Structure formats: C-alpha cells, structure tokens
Structure 1
C-alpha cells in the first residue's frame, strides 16, 4: 500500500466541494427509486416526468441526508442512447456529479487539458434560484457533471417537483443513518487503470491519494490493482481499479464482462454508527456478502497486539458480518452488499471511519474470498 502526500499545486480556479449526486440509468426508474427507499432508507424528494412536461426521460430523486440518487428511465420507445446503454450495461451509474465552485472555469480547464465535452455550461433556474452545470466524459460511458448551485434554495435542481406521494410503509421502517457518499469506485479493463487515473490528474487537477498493487491485494485465485485519486481538498475520492492475472477470473474482470467495459463498480456510503446502520439495513432486507468465521478468529488474535482499540464488540461485528481494518492511528469498519441488480455489477458499501483514511486493504483478501464464493455459485 502506498499513500501520497504531494497534492501538487493548488488549482488557481474552481474548487470541488463534494459529491453532488449520482445519476443512474435504469429500466424502471419508479420501481428502482422505491427499492432504494425501502431497502436503504432514502426519501423521495423530486420528480420530473410526463406530469411536469418532460416527455422523453422520467427522473425520480431520492435523498438521505447528503446522499442523493437520481433514477432515470426513457419514456419513449425511440430513445436510442438510453436503450443502447441499458442493453450493454444494464442498470448502472451514468453520471457522477460534483458540487463545485465556478463551474465554467472548471469545465474550460478540463477541456483545455484534453477532456471530451458532453455538454457545454448551461444555466437552469426557477423560483428557488439558479444552477450552472456542465458535463464531460470520463471512463466507459460514465460522465461527470459539475454543479454550481449559486445559493439555490430548492430541494434538488430547478424544474423538479416535490413528490406528492407518501409511502405509508417508509415510516414503519428503522432509520439507516447513512450520511454521505464516501467514495465511488470505477472498474477498468486490464492495463487501463493508470491512464484513467492520469486523466483525473491532468483534466481535473486531482492527485494520487492511495494505491495498492496485485502483490498486496490478492487471494489464491484473483487479484487487483487500485489507484485512488482525489481533489486538492480531498473531499471527493475516486478509487480506480483494474484486474490482475490470477488462477481464475477476478471479480474485477467479472464486472468488466457483465458491464460491457469500464463503469462504476460500487458506491461507498458513510455512516457514523455502522452497527446501528447495518442492523437497520438487515431489518429492511438488504443482502450482504457472507464472511467466513475464520476472519473473526484471526481478527481477535490480531487485535490483541494492535496499537489501536476497537471499541465495538467483535462479537456484534461478527454477527453483522462487518469487516475491520486498522493501522497505528485508527481503524475503519466496512461491509459490502451483494449486487443490487441481477447482473453481478454494481453494489454498495457501508463504511464508518475512526481516524482512518484508507480503503480496507487489510480486508481485501477476505472480501475476495467472499466474492469468489458467490462467483462460483454464479458459474463464473
């Protein structure tokens, strides 16, 4: 594992503040939005569709604290762009949007440094204020939208209407405590990780934050390499993965095969109390990877000589199947869902950080073994 302290020069223009929202392209936006509300505790906060005068694409916006998902589906049979995407990738993340200062300057700098434009800066406004946005292409069919809100007071973005539907079931379910998007992981085909991470350094003026190679992250059968890039303020973290050779097909290669190329592999959601969060999510029916009991036997032994104290009960963590990674300064707790659609592609991670900025490298072997068990069940 390598950590990087050199941020490079501070960008003269524009600042990335946070993940703004994640926009999905899915086959049925209404049902997908409902699923995230029931399973993960989101609330419906916005809508655009036929009833609001939008004729081609329907959008359902769900939010939980600072985490916003936008579920989009085509309304017309002739929407070739979305049709091709869904046929190739299945349901997935199309747009990783960032909240920024000075959208136009960030966009201009990105284009000057080689980024491909998806949409030049445009402004949208309503009675709640105005928002400036622009979009560029990143890996695969994924894009980034820069969102400058200019003191916008609305719930989400201009022209979205508040949902009038109140689901009586939601009030009966336990709060999940999910706070914000911690990081978003993009999988690349073999030998494309470095060029993809370099794209962020060149066009968005990000810097390397953390990396591991296949000598550090492997099981008997498969391995990966990963580079994490982040903005100057280190508020937006983007791990970039690629598969490495192993005895069998790695989970990264399985993703590439079923996604039809590069794309978002998983979204990590931050919580301040992972025990309460996972207890609530399991009560809501969320399925997680199964971790072998030997992991917790080894964990108990390793913690006896660790310089940090894990305050949570290991017995409770084992019951919930939560993983622990630590160094001399702190630790993190994390758990990974099973894929959230039929294709073995996108999944979600829940993470709690306690003075630890890593990504769970100490858990990768156990995670790989759990994923490999499911790959075996899938015949992959």
Structure 2
C-alpha cells in the first residue's frame, strides 16, 4: 500500500475551544478552520490547528450520539484518529479491508469549486482509527464543503515544531505481536527497532514499526506480564485500554525550542544532574553542548546513523495520560537504547548521594 506522511491527527476532547487555546498559547499553533452547526454539522465542533507541516483537528461532541462523546467518557481527551496520506483513498480502503482491517468510514468525496478531497477510514489499534486521505498538493481547503477555512495569519512564520515524528502507543500485555502483524499485513509497515527495557522490577517490550515511505512511525509498547506494574500499566488503567501515550513533534533546534516553549507555559520533565555528569563517559561527546543539554533538561541517545535529542512534557490531562515530546534528530533514524535505563540509574545515584 502506498502511504505517504501523516495527513493530520484528530483528538476527541471535552472542549475543543479550550484545548485549542492551550495549544495555540503554549505550542504556537494557529486555528485555521472550523466545523460546526454553522457549517452544516450540528453534532460536533471541530477546530483545525496548524504549525509547520502539522495539522491537528480537535473535535468535541455536541450530541450524545457523536463518537467523541463516548470516547471522552471512556478515555478522557486523547488521539482518536491518525490520518494517512494516500494517492487513492478508495483503493487504499478496499485493500486495507481485504487484508483484514475493520471499515469505519466508506470512501467519501468532499468538493468545493475545483478542490476535491476523498476520505475513507478503518480501525487501527484499540479504538483509534486511520483516516485515508487523498488530496492534491494544495491544502488551502482542508475538507472542502465541510470545513470553513480562516484567512491565513500574517504572523504565522515562526515554527517551534514542524513535523509529527512518531506516535507512542501503549498496548495491554500480550497484544504487541498481533498489533505488529496487523500493521505489516494491512499497511505494509515493517519493524525498524526493538528493545526490552528493564527498570528495577518493571519491564516492558517495545518495537517500532514504520511505513515503507519512512514518514509514519509508531512506537508500540506493552508491559511484561508478571512484573511489577509500571508507567505503561498506569496509562492503560487510566486511559481505559490501548491508546496513544504521546506524540513527538520534530524541532530543528531543540535547545532553542525548549526555552521558547517554557516561556509560553509548557512544563517539561526535569532530568537529574547525574545524567549529564555521566553522559560523555556513556556515549562520548554529543553534537550539542552538554551545558546546553543540562540547562534545558534535554536527553540524548544514538543509533547507527547519528544522535537523537528529546524531552517530554508533563501531562496536563486530568487522567495524567497523554503528553507531548519534542525531538531533534541529528542523523538518527530510529531510537537509541540507553536513555530510559541511563536516566533511571542516574536518578538512583542522585538519591543515594543526596
């Protein structure tokens, strides 16, 4: 199946306007379009947020029958759909269903003037769907005839982040192998990285699958049965099953992006000083200055191709589930295997010497 990049990510949320206010204020997104009663859709309110090449759709139910109402009641605010760019939505839909995917939206053509977009949808993991989107190069009309677009913001030139790098997905124990097989068979993804992680008495299995285009990446994680419950178990319990734990947004300069985001109100996790004290001895001198990494709490790891720098936000969700990651790749194509273990050990050392 010919799959391009992520077309957009749709969140189901309790209050689309409130969620949009936070993402615009803190992350620099801008509201570019809306769907609602005034556009002929009385059952929902959807807002389109854009920054760089990232399109986010925030949807709130206006009736009890809309799927967003059930989703938010069961999971709280979260990712409900990760949409894929495809050259032919009807063909991709038929092939996906033939390969075993559950259909959720028959191919539909949306038109306004000369602009045409075709969408279809299938189920992915848990109750997160994949919308298959066929559109031309012009994205001025996101969903023609359905979404009203706003005039372009003349000040919309600053991009703190610009691309969806990957989505991290938490799965119940025992579902990892089946989920990988599903993405390999239905969408032609392949495994590009795998890791068994032990943190004290906790353990988790992680495998990364990627589309043939290399533009869509899912990190799939399951807890290891029989071990002490950890953060993945906590997510599954609070979220109510499988779901997207975090989305990683790509930045060109993470050392500059982090302070800028912090000044807007984004709260990041802190990294103990011992992590940076041992960094050069663990992996050599990184591309970015250790003093800058320490100041910004940015983590660094590496694979065969280069280094990857990353930092995680604190979750602002009432269930303490979904959060964001900011990531900066210096040649790395996958993920290193040292960050979680090294960070855990650094925390332990710092507590011992405190």
Question: 1:176–1:277: 8 Å Cα contact kept in structure 2?
Answer: no
Corresponding residue of 2:121: 135
Question: 2:302–2:335: 8 Å Cα contact kept in structure 1?
Answer: no
2:104 is the alignment partner of 1:121: no
Question: 2:45–2:59: 8 Å Cα contact kept in structure 1?
Answer: yes
How far apart are 1:23 and its partner, in Å? 0.2
Alignment of 1:192-211 (within 5 A): 192-211=175-194
Q: Which runs of 5+ in 1 are unaligned?
A: 1-13, 373-380
How far apart are 1:149 and its partner, in Å? 0.1
Corresponding residue of 2:351: none
* Pairwise CA RMSD: 2.4
Corresponding residue of 1:232: 212
2:23 is the alignment partner of 1:36: yes
Residues 61 and 334 of structure 1: is their aligned pair in 2 closer, same or farther, counting only changes over 3 Å?
A: same
Corresponding residue of 2:302: 326
Question: 2:207–2:220: 8 Å Cα contact kept in structure 1?
Answer: yes
Counterpart-to-counterpart distance in 1, 2:301 and 2:212: 25
Deviation string, structure 1 residues 264-283 (Cα, Å, up to 9, x no partner): 11101111110111111111
2:54 is the alignment partner of 1:71: no
Residues 333 and 357 of structure 1: is their aligned pair in 2 closer, same or farther, counting only changes over 3 Å?
A: same
Residues 366 and 45 of structure 1: is their aligned pair in 2 closer, same or farther, counting only changes over 3 Å?
A: farther
Question: 2:27–2:261: 8 Å Cα contact kept in structure 1?
Answer: yes
Alignment of 1:174-193 (within 5 A): 175=158, 177-193=160-176
Residues 221 and 107 of structure 1: is their aligned pair in 2 closer, same or farther, counting only changes over 3 Å?
A: same
Question: 1:176–1:281: 8 Å Cα contact kept in structure 2?
Answer: no
Counterpart-to-counterpart distance in 1, 2:276 and 2:321: 27
Corresponding residue of 1:3: none
Deviation string, structure 1 residues 289-324 (Cα, Å, up to 9, x no partner): 121111111103234xx3xx5232111111110000
Deviation string, structure 1 residues 144-185 (Cα, Å, up to 9, x no partner): 00101034452422132224798xxx97x9945201001111
Deviation string, structure 1 residues 63-109 (Cα, Å, up to 9, x no partner): 10101110000113x33633221111000000000111122221111
Secondary structure of 1:280's match?
A: helix
Corresponding residue of 2:37: 50
Residues 163 and 362 of structure 1: is their aligned pair in 2 closer, same or farther, counting only changes over 3 Å?
A: same
Q: Which runs of 5+ in 2 are unaligned?
A: 349-354
Question: 1:231–1:237: 8 Å Cα contact kept in structure 2?
Answer: yes
Corresponding residue of 1:376: none
Secondary structure of 1:15's match?
A: coil
Deviation string, structure 1 residues 104-137 (Cα, Å, up to 9, x no partner): 2211111111110001111111125101111001
Alignment of 1:239-258 (within 5 A): 239-245=219-225, 248-258=228-238
Question: 2:304–2:332: 8 Å Cα contact kept in structure 1?
Answer: no
Question: 1:222–1:246: 8 Å Cα contact kept in structure 2?
Answer: no
Corresponding residue of 1:363: 339
Counterpart-to-counterpart distance in 2, 1:337 and 1:367: 16
Secondary structure of 1:345's match?
A: coil
Secondary structure of 1:101's match?
A: coil
How far apart are 1:49 and its partner, in Å? 1.4
2:3 is the alignment partner of 1:16: yes
Corresponding residue of 1:353: 329
How far apart are 1:338 and its partner, in Å? 1.1
Match of residue 262, structure 1, among 231, 234, 242: 242
Residues 283 and 370 of structure 1: is their aligned pair in 2 closer, same or farther, counting only changes over 3 Å?
A: farther
Alignment of 1:80-159 (within 5 A): 81-127=67-113, 129-158=115-144, 159=146
Corresponding residue of 2:293: 317
Number of residue pairs aligned between Structure 1 and Structure 2: 347
TM-score (norm 2): 0.91
Counterpart-to-counterpart distance in 1, 2:169 and 2:218: 7
TM-score (norm 1): 0.85
Match of residue 280, structure 1, among 248, 260, 263: 260
